[in-house]
Amino acid sequence: MLRLSFFVFLTLIASGVHAEEDPFADLKKGQPKAVGALAERIAMCTHFAGEEPYDAERRKEIAEAMNTYRCGKIERDEAVLRKRYKDNPGVLGALQRAHEW
């Protein structure tokens, strides 16, 4: 049941749900579009990096999610936005909160 709920959650995110239904809405609120998108990716990559690959199917699901959210490029993409918005504490705070989400 937990796995099903999580995949419903991912489906909602992928389908472009309305902002009031977006679980990342608070994280993205008032942020430039690129920052909001990266914050969501950071949160999802952090989540999947902590998942246990308890069998082959789950290992594949985690790998697919890590690929979908381009988790291998998160550090580089975050460095670019942190440099661009280095004088914007709101942006920097949103990126930090994404890691803690």
The reply to whether 2 falls in a domain is no
The reply to whether 59 falls in a domain is yes
The reply to whether 1 falls in a domain is no
The position carrying tokens 């690929």 is 67
The model's pTM: 0.73
What confidence tens digit (pLDDT) does each residue in 63-96 have? 999 999 999 999 999 999 999 999 999 999 999 9
The domain in which residue 33 lies consists of 24-100
The larger pLDDT score, comparing residue 10 to residue 90, is at 90
Please state the domain count of the chain: 1
The reply to whether 9 falls in a domain is no
The reply to whether 41 falls in a domain is yes
The reply to whether 11 falls in a domain is no
The reply to whether 28 falls in a domain is yes
Residue 23 has pLDDT above 90, yes or no: no
How high is the pLDDT of residue 16? Answer: 52
Neighbours of 6 (CB within 10 A): 13
The reply to whether 84 falls in a domain is yes
- Are the CB atoms for 24 and 39 separated by under 8 Å? yes
